[in-house]
Amino acid sequence: MCFADERRSNFAAPVREEAGLNKMRIREILKFSLIDYPGKISAVVFVPGCNFNCPACHAKKILDEVPLIKEEEFFKYLAGARQWVNGVVVCGGEPTFDADLVPFARRLAAAAIPVKLDTNGSAPQVLERLLDEKLIAYAALDVKGPPRLLDNITGTVPAPEAIKRSIRAIAGFPDYEYRTTAAPVLRGDGKISFLTAAELADTAAMITEITGSDDHKYFIQKFVPRKEGLLDKRLESFPQTPLPLLEEMKAEVSKYLPKCEIRA
Ligand code: SF4
């Protein structure tokens, strides 16, 4: 899920068509964004569907509810906006589960448009393919938390080996970042509490260990509450991640990833 999700009310509404007329399954387009692709003015493409069910997610449900947009409509918009749009962000949902992601990225590469991909890291084989073909300029991996909490945070049972393989793959892209949302976690005892600074430090240590390096960009993102639409309604009344907790997290994470930043 990318940051543009928080500004859904600004979404463009180009001509929509139902499934069958599309190539890449696009549910939403943000015509331009100044914050989703570092250093670029980007158009943001939202791809529906995700293998995770993160309780704090607001994007998956929304993206399942709106009609599809024709891929050609997106490229038509892009052709007319090239004087100010100089990058494309592909996010979701989870774009790596769309069979047409690679051809879509090839088409953008052929048009010399840098692409940023946001992923949850479940499909390392797709990341490796994109890497081999040099189709992605910037990759952002949501590392949800330490392995022992992945089931709780993702609402499913991810394959830890796939996530680890993706953590390795991401560091091969020309530019990349790791990031974690400091979200509330449904604990095994029925309680709900924010990820702790120690849990985030374990996440950072895992990245350092898997990549053999501490020289990575890592962003801690705050959880932003919503009145409705989260996959688990119990989190809708939860507060925003408190700033002191974010700062404590940064201090702990910096021991493993010194380039850690809070993304407000
Ligand atoms: S990975 Fe989680 S937060 Fe991201 S789209 Fe899937 S369910 Fe939502």
State the DSSP string of 10-56: G-B---B--TTS-SS-B-EEEEEESSSSTTS-EEEEEE---S---TT
Atom of ligand 1 nearest to the CA of 1: 4
- Going by pLDDT thresholds of 50, 70 and 90, the confidence category of residue 18 is very low
Strands 184-186 vs 192-194: parallel, antiparallel or unpaired = antiparallel
C-beta 150 within 6 A of ligand 1? no
Low-confidence winner among 2-16, 84-98, 139-153 (lowest mean pLDDT): 2-16
Q: Is ligand 1 within 6 A of the CB of residue 211?
A: no
pLDDT at residue 10 tops 50: no
CATH 1.10.150.530 fits 3-263, yes or no: no
Give me the mean pLDDT over the 119-136 stretch: 97
Q: What is the pLDDT of residue 227?
A: 79
pLDDT at 5 > cutoff 80: no
Domains of the chain, residue spans: 3-263
Query: Ligand 1 within 6 A of 58 CB?
Result: no
For ligand 1, mutation pick of 50, 61, 65, 153 (most atoms within 8 Å of CB): 50
Q: What's at 103, amino acid-wise?
A: P
- Residue 188 pLDDT grade (very low, low, confident, very high; cuts 50, 70, 90): confident
Q: Ligand 1 pocket test: which of 63, 120, 141 has the largest number of ligand atoms within 8 Å of its C-beta?
A: 120
Query: What does residue 262 show for φ and ψ, rounded to 5 degrees?
Result: -90, 130
Helix (H, G, I), strand (E, B) or coil at 237: coil
Q: Averaged over 132-153, what is the pLDDT?
A: 96
Q: What percent of the chain has pLDDT over 90?
A: 79
By the 8 A CB rule, do 177 and 140 touch?
Answer: yes
Residue nearest atom 5 of ligand 1, based on CA coordinates: 93
Q: Is the Cβ–Cβ distance between 195 and 189 less than 8 Å?
A: no
pLDDT digits over 103-118, tens only? 999 999 999 999 999 9
Q: Is 181 helix (H, G, I), strand (E, B) or coil?
A: strand
- Percent of the chain clearing pLDDT 70 (strictly above): 92
Whether 213 lines ligand 1, by a CB cut-off of 6 Å, is: no
Q: What is the Cα–Cα distance from 2 to 203, expressed in whole angstroms?
A: 20
Q: Does residue 93 have a cis peptide bond before it, meaning omega lies within 30 degrees of 0?
A: yes
